[in-house]
A and B are shown apart, each in its own frame.
Chain A
């Protein structure tokens, strides 16, 4: 699939799963489960891929979104900003079954963005004087001290969007956008799960948030699972 480039990137769930293997680094869009791509995640659960390194904002909930992969012990490492909504993630971390690397949320978003736009690292003063600076290089610029934060990329990025055209131009819905446009850029292979697929030209160029150049495969969602996430 990677060998032949096509301007029509519509595919199936099995096409998506064919690029996700044991040991893959998978970056996921979403915030508190909202905007996690539920159909791809269900496929990953069924395929049983293991030893994954997951990168994304948070570990969602044990029964919603990416949290299910963690609960199912398919991940060996998680890079995230927050695991509070998923007690299983905390438990696996304490038991030593899941390695968790915490990044402040904005730093994490920027590390992903940097990875997606070809910037290897950036400087920030966020986290200076806290546990976050441990093991990180400090750089002095204009007499101020900063932490050097490195970019993040992934073998596969999985995102959720409201609409795609067949080239992969994406638009998002309200706050389900969150980390998705950043994650979409940072994957070597990016899969977009979408609610609706339209022909090129049906999306106004002005409204496109993620240009299709970043997207390799588009699949139609079988429905979202984060409704009533708050109940």
Chain B
């Protein structure tokens, strides 16, 4: 396993700390799907997947996969006691009606107002919307997990999104490989920095103005135990 996997798990581990007992949570494709592996056992949570599962558990052990039972990314999952299956219209009925306390999504760009762009790079890459619009628009809290910089080394946190939007003013928290940033009514608040990055590194890598929290927490993945 390379450094890439480690930082992905580090981000998933940090994201898992946002989840509190009693929550109904949806996980997007990519890093968010690693989150169940980082939830502490005392936290009672039901994971919702838009392909029609409420009550997803951690990944199965190798060789114990059920080929029909997967998350929205197509990866095998397990279920917990109390789980249910339903069709896609009901899966989105749950989302639209506001039952999701939190969703974790990937992002191409997030603006200082919390606008999210994550489904199309015009003329280049068109993965499609999937369930991102409903999730971004309707979940009570939207957490975006993404790299701080794009492949060309440009900031993904910007004043205004240049790509077509998924939803406006929807993001509450951004967790990147460099920092944790809250979207507040008065702009972006830098709360945590992931070592060895410094506050200055994060400011330089961000395309919008950052307010620095009174006490910025330093997360050191080299010292932290992964569950």
Contact = CB atoms under 8 A, between A and B. Distances in A.
Contacts of B132: 104
Contact of A34 (B68, B88, B168): B68
B57 interface: no
A101 to B, nearest CB: 11
A34 B133 contact: no
A177 B50 CA distance: 12
Contact of A224 (B51, B67, B74, B138): B67
B74 A229 contact: yes
Given A81-B131, A84-B130, A90-B125, A32 B69 contact: no
B88 A178 contact: yes
B164 A102 contact: no
Contacts of B74: 31-34, 85, 229-230
Contact of A106 (B66, B92, B126, B165): B92
Interface string B94-136: 0110000000000000000000000010000111111111100
Interface string A45-65: 000000000000110000000
B87 A177 contact: yes
Interface residues of B, number: 45
Contact of A90 (B75, B76, B126, B168): B126
Interface in A121-166: 124-127, 129-132
Interface residues of A, number: 53
Interface in A75-128: 80-85, 90, 93-94, 100, 102-107, 109-110, 112-113, 124-127
Nearest to A117: B89
B80 interface: no
Given A129-B165, A130-B164, A229-B67, 14 more contacts: A31-B52, A32-B74, A80-B128, A83-B126, A83-B127, A84-B29, A84-B128, A94-B126, A105-B50, A105-B131, A113-B89, A125-B137, A132-B133, A229-B74
Interface of B: 29, 49-53, 66-70, 72-76, 79, 85-89, 91-93, 95-96, 120, 125-134, 137-138, 164-168
